Chain A
Amino acid sequence: MAASGCRGVRSILWKYGSYGKNLFVSRSKMVPQLPLRQIYVASSLWKKNLAAAGPQKFTQEFIDKQVEEFEVGKRHLANMMGEDPETFTQEDIDRSIAYLFPSGLFEKRARPVMKHPEEIFPKQTAIQWDAEGRPFHFLFYTGKQSYYSLLHDVYEKILAIERHQDKMRNKGLFTSDTKQILLTGSRWLLKEEIEENLVENISVQDYMRLIQLMELLLSMPYCSLEEEFILKFRKQLEVQSSKYEIPALQYDPQGVAFSVADGRRKSAKASITLRDSGSGNITINGRNYLHYFPVLQNREQLMFPLLFVGMMGRFDIEGSVEGSGHSAQAGALRLAISRALLSFVSEGEVEKMRQAGLLTADPRIRERKKPGQEGARKKFTWKKR
């Protein structure tokens, strides 16, 4: 700003010729031999360079051109792959690019990619001041104009809700039990996500202040008026139980339903066939489970999913397991039985099984031995000297 002001002054000095030369302090950047009688140049012409050097590196026209090229390229790609250009989705694009340009690079981000320019070019702020140098937004000089204008908006909404409350009170219609916004299964946007939306950097305290204001908004009785505004700042978390793949129920030639599932624990691999209308026999690797697992704990583990669901005597289990030790084999079998049971059980039960910990594959493995130590945790004898 100071430089531009100086240059504006400089141009006026040059206009007034000789005495300007005496007052002027020479700089290395200055072109020494300009004619005395120079036509006055508007200061805005000097300022063009500053704006270009600022945050915006891609102009809007450039991005629009990229978007056009992307659309055209998408249609070409669809034609190349022999598919319908109208219904060519991003997943199809990814698949086609992976097929046409197979890459063995380990870094996924280094592989060839074709995505919409919105996702490739980072969002930037447009130029925030006009040709005169006057900023457009009234909060420009705060440094974080989008953030502070957002705070202003939230506060406006709080005031509006208070006014609404007062109106209801005057009419005598004020109640505290109004429709509450459902916040279950969602979380506040993270600081990084908000920064992405605002295209500005904010500090941790700023973020906390914003969340405090939103919570204040939420605490008011009539907050449901601003529901969609608030939900813009909440991200939905997916319900976990939908993530489990239920094995398909197959039918025997005799009409008996059965399902097949696998399970793993620690390097033991198990495969289970669960047959309906049985009498509770369990056969593992061709032997009865009493012979195969003499330890009570392992047999308890086999029965755990069936007991939990309450279908103890209903199924015949035929399993094969290999690898690792007896306890890990029992764990692998338990996981396989739970997964096979999913096809016989209702949705609510699936969630209950998940919360009991039956459907999670146990990730624990033997911890490695570290150099300089006896084992994974045990250290060598500590000698003082």
Chain B
Amino acid sequence: MAASVRHLLKPWTPSLCLVRWSRYNSYYLDPDPSKDARVPDSELSPEQKELQELKTVRRIKAALSSDTSSPFSDPLMSKFINMMMQDGSKILARGIMTQPREEIECSPHSVFQQALENCKPIIGLASVQKGGKSYQVPVPLTDNRRGFLAMKWMITECRDNKHRRTHMYEKLSQELLAAFANEGNVVKRKHDLHRMAEANRAYAHYRWW
């Protein structure tokens, strides 16, 4: 980690073909909009100290429009809203997310977090081709991937499997409550995935990464 951080001190030179490119070059570091999130200097590990020093000499990207320093902003919530957004209508997506507040009584924030935690799969399946046949191989998932799958299943389930006449926020709130209690379709889907992985555990050695 220390070696990689030192490596970041080299100035950026553009490489040739930039296919998926961003307006920032890789010299820019990500911003940290949270207020007073600073741990006092004595408790930082040496790598974190290096990172702090690196931040003083490197340029930082601009904060996103959806980020604020207020304690009410939640990165998980922002991610969920973005995933639910269609055709760029953030206003609508955010409205749907903030509406279940009236239906859920006790601390909707923690209910949301706990429900998504209950939906996260622990192990996933990857398709590996071997000897002409493709097998579903059980594979560990990164935290990002697990969170993404949980949110994706939640949104898909709310969009597809409910009655046409109910509003999105109603469907969402019902599903979230059910997931919080470890019932409902999303948690069932997670359990199905776990069962398939357990069934296919004979192929686990096909994984080479």
Contacts and interface: CB of A to CB of B under 8 A. Distances in A.
B11 to A, nearest CB: 8
Given A301-B68, A307-B69, A307-B70, A357 B56 contact: no
Could you tell me the dominant secondary structure of chain B's interface residues? loop
B166 interface: no
B57 A190 contact: no
A300 B68 contact: yes
A304 B63 contact: yes
Contacts of A308: 33, 35, 69
A129 B71 CA distance: 72
Contact of B32 (A187, A307, A356): A356
Interface in B1-52: 9-11, 22-24, 31-35
B65 A365 contact: no
A310 B35 CA distance: 9
Contacts of A188: 9
Contacts of B24: 363
Most buried by B among A186, A295, A357, A362: A357
Most buried by A among B9, B66, B90: B9
Given A304-B68, A363-B23, A184 B53 contact: yes
A361 B31 CA distance: 13
A165 B82 CA distance: 60
B67 to A, nearest CB: 8
Nearest to B33: A356
Interface string A296-308: 1100110110011
B10 A187 contact: yes
A254 interface: no
Contacts of B55: 355
B141 interface: no
B58 interface: yes
Interface residues of B, number: 32
B94 A297 contact: yes
A356 B37 CA distance: 11
A358 interface: yes
A237 B53 CA distance: 11
A296 B94 contact: yes
B181 interface: no
A27 B132 CA distance: 69
Interface stretch (A83-91, A170-178, A238-246): A238-246
A187 B11 CA distance: 9
B101 interface: no
Contacts of A307: 35, 68-70
A364 interface: yes
11 contacts: A237-B9, A237-B57, A239-B57, A296-B94, A297-B91, A301-B68, A304-B63, A355-B60, A357-B31, A357-B32, A360-B61
Given A185-B53, A357-B61, A357-B63, 20 more contacts: A190-B11, A239-B56, A240-B59, A300-B68, A303-B68, A304-B69, A308-B69, A310-B35, A327-B65, A330-B65, A355-B60, A356-B33, A356-B35, A357-B67, A358-B63, A360-B31, A360-B59, A360-B62, A363-B23, A365-B23
Interface of B: 9-11, 22-24, 31-35, 53, 55-70, 73, 90-91, 94
